[in-house]
Homo-oligomer: A and B are copies of this chain.
């Protein structure tokens, strides 16, 4: 079976990382999963969220957005509509949970790290690219904190990356592009750690319910893809991290 962009079923799109991308942020990158491109920045705020007051720890939170013409047809700007849509809120909650799952919030200290993921071109997989690139920006912000002497050691306990899988005509495919995502029977997003465990699984059978065997086939494919993404993350920081 040949995919619409000529890839093998278990083949990721080319992943590109430009780091840093923004000269103000404590951490930043532009990540590309094929034609999908997301600006990820990590910003340090020396303040806990209000609801956390008086606890001896920090917080990591994420916001997600798309410029209007990231999509094939122009999408209305959420700022001019006066509210973030359900999909946006769902994705930014996912990014935040994924990064917090590998963070020792006590080590982070009484501060907030804001991860902003702004999609400048969307071709499927914007949430998985956001998590993968958001981790890089987050790592750099933590390293900046360490260099400034604001924290004693990195509060990050493992690497984290994400990828989507889908069933198309009964075949499991890795890293769906927009066309594949629209056509597939099932769309599944996996978030995993460097140690090969799952942090988050989100999947929907858009048209055809799936079996546990099919799920496991997708999970194994995701495991392969995330392994490659984390290898790339490791290479990115090669020689830079003490641990």
Contacts and interface: CB of A to CB of B under 8 A. Distances in A.
A39 B79 contact: no
Nearest to A207: B101
Contacts of A81: 79
Interface residues of A, number: 69
A219 to B, nearest CB: 6
Contacts of A35: 23
A180 interface: no
A145 interface: no
Interface string A179-210: 00000000010001101111111111111011
A172 to B, nearest CB: 14
Q: How many copies does the complex hold?
A: 6
A140 interface: no
Contact of A90 (B69, B73, B93, B158): B93
A116 B67 contact: yes
Contacts of A83: 79, 82-83
B209 A205 contact: no
Nearest to A26: B69
A74 B114 contact: yes
A197 B219 contact: no
Contact of A84 (B25, B79, B195): B79
Contacts of A223: 212
A120 B118 CA distance: 9
A19 to B, nearest CB: 14
A50 interface: no
A69 B24 contact: yes
